[in-house]
Structure 1
């Protein structure tokens, strides 16, 4: 089935957000962004969603890789999840982002939860990726602290991590950065008086 012009534009925008997301999460990627014409040039006018698969490695650890899958079917079921996890297993990749047109079937959701101890699969609706929310002027800069930075922060302020303000793991910005429970994120806001205002949030 050939995609309409509107769908190609939609997938181009989603792909662009994902490339920015992977860069922001510390994965390697191209220095320049594809424009719409380059995107069509790369994937063809008769592109299929499944051709858009992205595989990236972390900048500081090439063994830490992630896949981004674009399932063809509008309602993803268990079979598709199994196909993807088999591919991940064969290539020793343990993280993936699934870009779906509609919410997963209840069975597929259960399947993702059951494999979560081995494979970390995040699910995003296409509609959530049409714009990069972190580029909105009202969204401050978020920076994930390393284990070492988190330790230093807690020692400096003599606080327990649970005493810090919280950010839900389901928060759209937390999902964009792929934050996990127990991590601490630094939030930098512009401030009229101090130039910038820094707070820390504990991911729950």
Structure 2
């Protein structure tokens, strides 16, 4: 980036700062644990911590992949052509895993972080106990967020990111890219959703936090118990609730999964404050 004019570098830094801030707000709104200073970072502090004196983003390589796969994942095998074919290396070939660090890290490589779920998030995402499963595990875990600068995003980049996410025991991986995914890459996201949830956001879509707009009502994810109580209170079946698509911008922001119910709180000049509920499909 040495040949890039300073004004262009400055614009890029401001753009990255806005996207960086929105991503942190999104992760915090999903109830992951983040410090207040991480979420509300100022532009000056962002420049000090993540930029070189010439205005370019600091170069820091991606952390090396720890060769500790979940038990069983390394033993998966699929026929050639299967979406998961080649996703995991055999346990006896740890050198293959290290190839993930061979690609040149991007200038945005320092713009990466992870976060753990809070107690409130764990409670909200834990299934109710049953006789067969008296101590159910929560359906959530750590999240990994990374800014990527590949000029094209195909199936190979998705697999590479999925390998890193799953092999390091992250439950969710969020990619922030400056180019859209190819149709094949977007389709391949579904092939790993039973192992980890991989999400992709365009950098340009994160310049503004849509949930801060005055016309966007507040959305609150209900826990499983709250969902059950809601259906029982109104004597409804799940399918009778109004719906919100999983690809809805706010649903994507909150990371909603199919079957979850969100409470939408609106303020009206005539009706005052009222709530409605929608099922994610």
- Per the TM alignment, residue 175 of structure 1 is displaced from its structure 2 partner at its CA by 0.7
Q: Which residue of 2 aligns with 1:54?
A: 113
Task: Report if aligned partners of 2:166, 2:195 keep a CA contact under 8 Å in 1.
Answer: no
The alignment's TM-score, normalised by the length of structure 1, stands at 0.93
How many residue pairs end up in the alignment?
A: 204
Specify the alignment match of 2:33 in structure 1. 28
Aligned residue in 2 for 1:125: 202
- For 1:16, what is the secondary structure of its paired residue? helix
Q: Is the 8 A contact 1:166 1:201 kept in 2?
A: yes
Q: How far apart are the structure 2 equivalents of 1:159 and 1:189?
A: 22
CA RMSD of aligned residues (A): 1.8
Q: TM-score, normalised by structure 2?
A: 0.68
Any stretches of 5+ residues in structure 1 without a counterpart?
none
Among candidates 200, 213, 222, match of residue 136 of structure 1: 213
**1:24, 1:177 within 8 Å by CA — same for their partners in 2?**
yes
Alignment of 1:1-204 (within 5 A): 1=1, 4-32=9-37, 33-45=40-52, 46-47=56-57, 48-60=107-119, 61=122, 64-204=141-281
Shift of 1:77: 2.6
- What whole-Å deviation, never above 9, does each CA across 1:70-93 have from its counterpart, x for those lacking one? 112132233332332222233211
Q: Deviations over 1:20-71 (max 9, x none)?
A: 1011000111213110111122212232212201211111149811111111
Taking the aligned partners of 2:153 and 2:44, their CA distance within structure 1 comes to 29
Is the strand fraction higher in 1 or 2?
Answer: 1
Moved over 4 A (4+): none
